[in-house]
Amino acid sequence: AASEGVTTSSGSGASRRSLSAQAKADHLKAIEKWEYIVSHPSEDSGIVGVAYYNAAAAYFRLEQYESAIQRCTQLLERLPEHEDAWRAQFLIAKVYKRQMDNPAADTAALQLSMQQALERLVQRYPTCPAAPGALRSLQASSNSEGGRK
């Protein structure tokens, strides 16, 4: 099942979803392999791009958000036309959205960063599968801010 290895937790400050010890270990093993590919690039830029994105996704699942953003940014800078580039841009927006769940977070700054990431997604990858939803989110955000500007 898609939720295998995921446990739900509640309480103040607790993550809504936390990974089981086995799932964490699996993600750490995967990161190790993807990081090896990233640090030993081959002529095949396709596999390097996949490694950047998959490492970022694993970091995201482990709530290592800075590392996730770093890998996404590297993919976008080095291989902006890679098939996973739009996914990396979308993952950056998801990182900011997830960080807003933290009660101590600067929600306004994270909201702005998320909007900027979605704007970049729509500008750079207008035909990607995530673009329509990103546009709707941006429009809804713009409409809700109308009275506050």
pLDDT digits (tens, 9 = 90+) for 5-57: 433 333 434 444 678 888 888 888 988 999 898 888 777 888 999 999 999 99
How much is the average pLDDT of 141-148?
Answer: 68
pLDDT of residue 14: 43
pLDDT one-digit tens code per residue, 95-133:
999 999 999 999 999 999 999 999 999 999 999 999 999
pLDDT confidence band for 59 (50 / 70 / 90): very high
Residue 131 sits at φ, ψ, to 5 deg, of: -60, -45
| Distance, CA of 85 to CA of 79 (rounded, Å) | 7
Average pLDDT rounded to a whole number, residues 87-101: 97
Q: What is the pLDDT of residue 61?
A: 94
| Cα atoms in the 13 Å half-sphere on the side-chain side of 84 | 22
First to last CA, the chain: 45
Task: Specify the pTM.
Answer: 0.81
Phi/psi-derived region of residue 7, left when phi > 0, alpha when psi is between -120 and 50, beta in every other case: beta
- What Å distances lie between residue 16 and 11, 43, 63, 92, 147, CA to CA? 9, 41, 12, 19, 32
**Residue scoring higher pLDDT (17 or 87):** 87
